[in-house]
Amino acid sequence: VSYDPEPEIKRYLERLSRAAHDLPRGRRRELLSEIELHIRMALAQTPCANQEELEALLEKVGAPAEIAAAATDQAVAPIQRPPGAIAFLRGHRPRRLIMTLVALALVVFAIGAAVWTQSYQPLAFARADILPANSFNTEGETGYAAWIGYHKGIGGGPDRPFFGVTIQNTGPFTVQLVRPPAKYAPTMPVMWGWSSRLLMARYTRLKTNPNPLLARQGHRSLWKRGPLQPFQPISLAPGQIVMIAYQGVWHDCQIKPHVGTTTPPRSFPIRFSYLWKTTTAHIPFPGGLTIDPPNHHSNTDCHQTPQTGNSQSNASGSTGFGQGPNQTVVRDSVKQVASVEIPKVGPVALWHGNTEQGGWCLGLRLSNSDWLGTGESPLDGGGAVPGCFPTGVIDRGTHHLEWLENDIDARRIGGTQWRIRSGVITVPGAVKVTDLATDQSTNVIDGGLFILAIQAPNPSAPPYQSPHLHLVAYDKAGNVIASDCLYHSCSGS
C-alpha cells in the first residue's frame, strides 16, 4: 500500500494558516500557495515512502510558526508592543482595526442621531398674508398666522370664537401631530372665559387668487382652508400646512381685554411625535398677539352669547355632559329620551338632563357610546352639544325654541353628511317641530324635546346652512306656538 502524504500536508498547511493569521489576507494566501507549491515540488523530486520521510521533508521546510514569524518580520527580534489603546489596535490585524473603527463610528453616529432627534423641532408658524376666511380681526405680527375669529356655521345662532394657528412642517422629515393634553387649553390665558375644543383644518393650502384686481395689488394668493373638524392625529409631511384651532363659546363676561392689548399666550402648544419621541413644542408668537376682544364684535357680544357651553371635559363626566361654570347637572335627571336612525351610522340617541339652576343639558350619542361633538368618533363632524345651558339664553328668551346643531360625516363609511338639530321648546303644548327650509319634521318628546336629522350633502350650502333655517313648533291643533328663523326673508317672524 503506497503512503498518502496528503492528510499530513493538509494539517501542516492548516497550522501554517493559523500561525500566519496576523498577515493580511492576500499575503497569507500567497505564502500558503508558495509553501504548498514548494512541498509538492520537493515531493515530486523525492517522493516520501512513509510518514517519517514526510515529516523530515516538512521539518526541512520549517516550522509553521517560524515561517509565519519570518513573514511578519518577527523572526529575530519579536516586536515589543507598546502599551496603550492605540498600540493595542496597531498590534492587531488591520481587519479588526477597521471593524473597531467602524463600530466606534457607529456608536458616535447613534449618539449624535439620538441627540439630534431629541432636539428636532421642525414645526413653525406658516406665513399667511391673507387671513383665513371668517377670521378678520387678529393676526400675529409680521403676517404670521395666529388668529382669533368668529365662526359661523356649526352651532348656528350666535357666532363662536376660535383661536388658531397655521402650522407648517419646515423640516425634511414627516412628523405626527398628536392631540395635546387637555390641560393646555385651560392654561392658555387667551382662552380664559372660553369653553373650547380642539379642531383642525387639515386641507389647508394657498391658492392663486382668481381676482385679477387683488392679484395686481399684491394679493396673489388666497389662504384656503378646509372645514374645521375635530382634531385627529395626522402625519405632516415636509412643507405641509395645517390649521389648528380652539373653538368654543365665551362664557365669562368679566374678561374684557382692551383693544390693541398685547395679550398672552406668547406661544402655542403643538404636540408631535417623531421616531421614538413625543413632545410638546411651544411655538412662540413673534411679538405676542394683539387681540380684539369679543365684546367689540357685534355677533359675540357677551349679552348675546350663551353663558355656558360645551367643554372638552363634557364627555368625560359620568353624566355625559359635565358641567359648565354656571350650570350643574342633576344626575338623576339624565336619561336617553329619543333616537333617530341614520343610514350607515345607526341610531343616534338624544340624551337630556336638567340643571340645578333650571337649565337643560343635551347630548347626542352613537351606538358605540361615542358622544358627538367631542371628537371621539371619526364620524363626528363637530357641533354644539353635549353641553348645558341656562333656559332662555340660547334664543335670548324670545322664540321659546332653543336649539343647537351637530354634524355627522359618514362619507368614509359609504354614507353622507347629516345635520342634527336638537333642542328644547320652552312653551307647553308642542307636539311637532318642522324645519320649513328643508321641510323636515319630527315629533316632540317628553313635552318639549326634539331631535331632527337632516340629510345634508353640503352642510355649508343652502338650504342646510344655518342662516337658511326656519324652525317652527306646532301644537296638537296645528297652531304655531314657537318659531325661530335665521333666514333673512323671514326675519321678524
Partner 1 sequence: MVAVQAPLISQMRRGMLQYCVLALLVEEERYGFDLVKALGEVEGMVTSEGTIYPLLSRLRRDGLVETSWQESPSGPPRRYYSLTAAGRAALEAFAEEWSRFRDAVDHFIEGRRA
**Residue 347 pairs with which residues in a beta bridge?**
341
340/348 Cα distance (integer angstroms): 5
Residue 40 as a binder of partner 1 (CB under 8 A): the answer is: yes
CA gyration radius, the chain:
39
Among 15, 55, 70, 486, binds partner 1 (CB under 8 A): 70
User: Which of 30, 446 has the CB closer to partner 1?
Assistant: 30
> Which stretch in 70-78, 224-232, 292-300, 363-371 sits in contact with partner 1 by CB under 8 A?
70-78
User: Which of 46, 493 has the CB closer to partner 1?
Assistant: 46
Over the window 325 to 354, marking each residue x when it contacts partner 1 by CB under 8 A and - when it does not, the resulting string is: ------------------------------
Among 27, 29, 96, 216, binds partner 1 (CB under 8 A): 27
The grid coordinates of residue 13 equal 498547511
Greatest alpha-carbon span in the chain? 132
**Residue 471 pairs with which residues in a beta bridge?**
435, 484
Which region holds residue 287: left if phi is over 0, alpha if psi is between -120 and 50, else beta?
left
The grid coordinates of residue 322 equal 359635565
> 368 in helix, strand or coil?
coil
User: Which of 67, 436 has the CB closer to partner 1?
Assistant: 67
> Which stretch in 38-46, 282-290, 355-363, 423-431 sits in contact with partner 1 by CB under 8 A?
38-46
- Outline where 72-140 has alpha helix (H): 85-91, 94-119
Residue 19 as a binder of partner 1 (CB under 8 A): the answer is: no
Among 15, 17, 53, 61, binds partner 1 (CB under 8 A): 61
Angle, helices 6-19 vs 64-71, to 10°: value is 40
Q: Are strands 261-263 and 241-250 parallel, antiparallel or unpaired?
A: unpaired
Which long-range contacts (C-beta less than 8 Å, at least 24 apart) are formed by 183-188?
184/269, 184/280, 185/246, 185/312, 188/163, 188/246, 188/264, 188/265, 188/268, 188/269
122/270 Cα distance (integer angstroms): 11
Residue 37 as a binder of partner 1 (CB under 8 A): the answer is: yes
User: Which of 27, 220 has the CB closer to partner 1?
Assistant: 27
Min CB(74)–partner 1 separation in Å = 11
464/406 Cα distance (integer angstroms): 12
Among 5, 9, 35, 123, binds partner 1 (CB under 8 A): 35
> Which stretch in 29-37, 155-163, 220-228, 392-400 sits in contact with partner 1 by CB under 8 A?
29-37
Min CB(47)–partner 1 separation in Å = 13
Spatial CA neighbour of 160 closest among 225, 245, 264, 263: 245
Among 1, 76, 86, 213, binds partner 1 (CB under 8 A): 76
Spatial CA neighbour of 375 closest among 155, 160, 242, 199: 199
Residue 213 as a binder of partner 1 (CB under 8 A): the answer is: no
Residue 66 as a binder of partner 1 (CB under 8 A): the answer is: yes
User: Which of 6, 332 has the CB closer to partner 1?
Assistant: 6
Residue 177 as a binder of partner 1 (CB under 8 A): the answer is: no
Over the window 77 to 116, marking each residue x when it contacts partner 1 by CB under 8 A and - when it does not, the resulting string is: x---------------------------------------
56/60 Cα distance (integer angstroms): 6
User: Which of 35, 444 has the CB closer to partner 1?
Assistant: 35
Give the number of other Cβ atoms within 10 Å of residue 445's Cβ: 14
* Cα separation values, 51 from 3, 67, 91, 380, Å: 8, 22, 38, 91
Give the number of other Cβ atoms within 10 Å of residue 301's Cβ: 14
Residue 6 as a binder of partner 1 (CB under 8 A): the answer is: no
User: Which of 16, 54 has the CB closer to partner 1?
Assistant: 16
What angle is formed at CA 263 by the lines to CA 257 and CA 265, rounded to 5 degrees?
130
Residue 488 as a binder of partner 1 (CB under 8 A): the answer is: no
- Interface with partner 1 (CB under 8 A), residue total 24
Among 62, 227, 288, 415, binds partner 1 (CB under 8 A): 62
Q: Interface residues with partner 1 (CB under 8 A)?
A: 16, 27, 30-31, 34-35, 37-38, 40-42, 44, 60-63, 66-67, 70-71, 73, 75-77
